[in-house]
Copies of this chain bind each other. A is one copy, B any other.
Amino acid sequence: MIGQSGIAIRNIKRADSSSVAQLARYGVATVHEAMGRVGLLATYLRPVYPGAKACGTAVTIFAHPGDNWMLHVAAELLQPGDMAVLGVSSSNEDGMFGDLLATSFHSRGAVGLVIDAGCRDTADLRQMGFPVWSKAISAKGTVKATVGSVNTPIICAGALVHPGDVVLADDDGVVVVPKAHASDVAQAAARREAKEALTRERLAAGELGVDIYGMRDTLAKAGLSYFADEAAFEQELRKKQGART
C-alpha cells in the first residue's frame, strides 16, 4: 500500500538514460503538454533559488512530519543521475534537508531533490549548485525517530511517483514521467518543440494566434461577438431587451 513504512529497496529499474538525457533538454511545461497535460506536481513546490533546473531518475523517499531519517537512508541508495523525491505521511514544512545532506547527495551523484516539506541552508545550496524544489524554506530542525521507506511508490505534492520514473524540474515547477513512457514522451516533446518554434516565428512576425490556429469560426460558434466599441455593444443590448419585452 502507498505510504507503508519500514521498507528500503536497494535496486530499482530506472528509466533508460537516453530518454532521461532527451527529456532534460525540454522545459517542464513542454513535457507536461507532450504527455497530454498530465504529470505535474502541485505548484507550491518552488525552486530554492531561481534558474534551478534538473532532470533525473527518481529515488523515492517516504517520511514522517518533522523527521528526516529516511533522507540518510536514501543517500546510500542514490546513484549518479538520480533525483531524490520525498513524500510525507502528513503535511509538514520543517527543514528536513540542508547543506550536509546536500554534500552527501552530491557526492553520490544525485542531480537534485524534490521535497514535499521544507529545506534549509538555501544560500549554501545555491553556492553548491545543488537544486532543491521544496514546499517551504524553513530552518526548523528535525528528529530521526520514526522510519519511513525508500524506493516504494509515493504521493509527492499530489502526484504519484514510482522509483525510477523521470523527474524534471525547472523554474516552472516539477513534472514526473512514468518510466514506461519516457521514450514516447521525449519524442512527443521533440515534436512539440519543433512545432512551437515555427509558431513562435509567425507570432513574432505579427501573425495572430486566432489566425494561425484557425479559431475565428469556433469562437463565433462558442458565442463570441465582436463590437466596434462600447456604444455598439450597448445598442445591441438595448435591442435585445426591447425584443424580450
Contacts and interface: CB of A to CB of B under 8 A. Distances in A.
Contacts of A35: 1
A243 interface: no
Nearest to A31: B139
A104 B155 contact: no
A94 B232 CA distance: 33
Interface string A22-38: 00000111001101111
A196 to B, nearest CB: 6
A171 B7 contact: no
Contacts of A122: 171-172
B226 A8 contact: yes
A10 B226 contact: yes
Contact of A222 (B50, B103, B146, B209): B146
B92 A38 contact: no
Given A9-B227, A37-B89, A140-B43, A120 B2 contact: no
A242 to B, nearest CB: 13
Given A43-B137, A65-B94, A225-B8, A72 B155 contact: no
A39 interface: yes
Interface residues of A, number: 107
13 contacts: A4-B36, A4-B38, A5-B36, A5-B223, A12-B229, A73-B224, A75-B210, A90-B92, A90-B94, A92-B92, A100-B209, A103-B204, A108-B206
A181 B139 contact: no
A100 B203 CA distance: 7
Contacts of A7: 224-225, 227, 233
Give the residue among A1, A11, A144, A205 with the most B Cβ atoms within 10 A.
A1
